[in-house]
Chain A
Amino acid sequence: KAGVTQTPRYLIKTRGQQVTLSCSPISGHRSVSWYQQTPGQGLQFLFEYFSETQRNKGNFPGRFSGRQFSNSRSEMNVSTLELGDSALYLCASSLTEGAGKRKLFFGSGTQLSVL
């Protein structure tokens, strides 16, 4: 069974641009969560989608948004990029809702560099 697939693997953008990252969950998984990983702030929760609905959101500005499609694939978008948005963006999927008692499967991430 294929794992969580994130595309692209690397991305370079300039300040002010916008970017869209894609995540394909494991087949059959309906929940997708997004995390930002930086050396300074560590891993921070962005948002979670289940059955095309956003179920939870972290403390990020409105420039960060996401969506989930009927096939459970998810995209996240960052508008008006800032230098501080440079990070590894990780997507995780799970079979149903909830990380509390269920296993999250992470992708390898998209490394975004903002110049």
Chain B
Amino acid sequence: GDSVTQMEGPVTLSEEAFLTINCTYTATGYPSLFWYVQYPGEGLQLLLKATKADDKGSNKGFEATYRKETTSFHLEKGSVQVSDSAVYFCALTPQSSSNTGKLIFGQGTTLQVKP
């Protein structure tokens, strides 16, 4: 079945360091891909998304490119801040379920940014 695999955390970085969180997926066809972020004590917030191959999603300095050939959607940010400390989830909606609210999530990666 469809699945999402993320790099295990926690990832600990110093402020202004470069961030990469790896995400790969298994799915048939062309799923839609997402990154969600969860701050402590809060629900998930959509960070960015890409709905077709080679699309680049971007928001708040974060970027991810939909790579069909490598089935990947890695999250990157050039310079992280302490306020970016959170849990990041990679997710997909299968192409067959594109009109539903069903998301398949990775396990989440905890990011800790130290001043």
Contacts and interface: CB of A to CB of B under 8 A. Distances in A.
B102 A97 contact: no
Given A33-B102, A50-B101, A104-B101, 9 more contacts: A35-B103, A43-B103, A44-B105, A48-B101, A94-B101, A100-B32, A100-B93, A101-B98, A104-B44
Given A33-B102, A43-B105, A100-B32, A56 B97 contact: yes
Nearest to A44: B105
B102 A104 contact: no
A97 to B, nearest CB: 5
B43 interface: yes
Contacts of A100: 32, 51, 93, 97-100
B115 interface: no
A106 B44 CA distance: 6
A48 B103 CA distance: 11
Contact residues on A (Cβ < 8 Å of other chain), bracket: 20 to 34
Contacts of A35: 103
A42 B103 CA distance: 12
A56 B32 contact: no
Contact of B43 (A44, A101, A108): A108
A4 B108 CA distance: 22
**Interface size class of chain B, counting residues whose CB lies under 8 Å from the partner chain:** 20 to 34
Interface in B92-115: 93, 97-108
A92 B93 CA distance: 15
Given A42-B105, A100-B51, A55 B44 contact: no
Q: What 3 pairs between A and B have smallest CB-CB spacing?
A: A100-B98, A106-B43, A33-B101
Given A42-B106, A42-B108, A97 B44 contact: no
Interface of A: 4, 31-33, 35, 42-45, 48, 50, 55-56, 58, 90, 92, 94, 97-101, 103-109
A32 B102 CA distance: 10
A94 B49 CA distance: 15
Contacts of B101: 31-33, 45, 48, 50, 55-56, 92, 94, 97-99, 104
